[in-house]
Amino acid sequence: MSQELQLWLFHQYQLLNARGETKDLVEIWQDYHNSPRIQEKYPLPPGGTGDCCAPKLLQYAYSQGLKPVCMAEFWWGESPKGMIRHHGQFYPACSGKCKPVLAWMLQGLDVDPNPDELRRQHMEPGIVWEDEVMAVIDKPSGMLSMPGKIGDDSVATWAQARWPGAMLVHRLDMQTSGILLVAKTSEAYHHLQKQFEDRTIKKKYLAIVEGEPQAAHGIIDLPLSSDPLNRPYQMVDYEHGKRAITEYRVLQPLGDGSFLADSLERICCRPEKNRPQVVKVALWPHTGRTHQLRVHCAHRDGLGCPILGDELYGRKAERLYLQAQGITFVHPTTGKRMHFELEEEFGF
């Protein structure tokens, strides 16, 4: 009876778009999620779909013959315990509820291109070191590790073009820069993969964070899981999350961000007197969960200081100030212990 009532309710939500067309929530959801895999797992919208501010405001505007000019949503109040939200900060629509609805309701309006679908400028990584079986490379911020939905310009495709058959051993987020390992042979790939699985490969990251960590050194131990209806966000999940451990050390307080004056004022829209305190930290992940360092830095039960430029868990800037600076591993054929460390690219 509960399921029948929920389905009946969804059919009552007759939502307009800018062309004056109408669809109910079930039609909108199933048209947007046309993948059989997703439709099988989530045949109906989650409860509460259509009840957020943006769809309600658009519905009112269309029903009154008004044309929306501009709209944005921001978070007000404290962050939920599992998610990361900052008071007064703007956020995009969640992919699980509002995004499918807004994709329908915005049809007929002249809107800016979706930034996720814009082709990015061509980039190439630098080669730090190589031999006949592997290479250590330096990925620039803004370059994909693996091919994405739009185009195939990525470290993986670059490596395969340069060394036929080459495989990326691990990945970095698109906006994270720094060291990646490339295997030129299948044997080297499996050997290095086993080291990652056994957690014997050691990695060091540098980050510029906003705020003041409470301790100069510590261990962050917060379990993480993905938010299935709001990808690519990750959540702190004490019930179903996988254990994630990060060691951190404060290296250098950087004052009020004067070194980033132009960036913070232009990108963060903060006048000089309101610039956030920024600090340089070293991070050593003991596990390798998705967005681990970003969530551990931003979450209130972790460092409580989001990485500067983190659009998902902090505040947008010209780039994500996170660099995979160092790595230590065993060479797959010689057995020699190898260590590489890049120069700090932030220069502070």
Which entry of 173, 237, 262, 310 is annotated as an active-site residue?
Answer: 173
Q: Which of 155, 122, 151 has the alpha carbon at shortest distance from 138?
A: 155
Judge whether 173 counts as a catalytic residue: yes
- Residue positions annotated with a catalytic role: 173
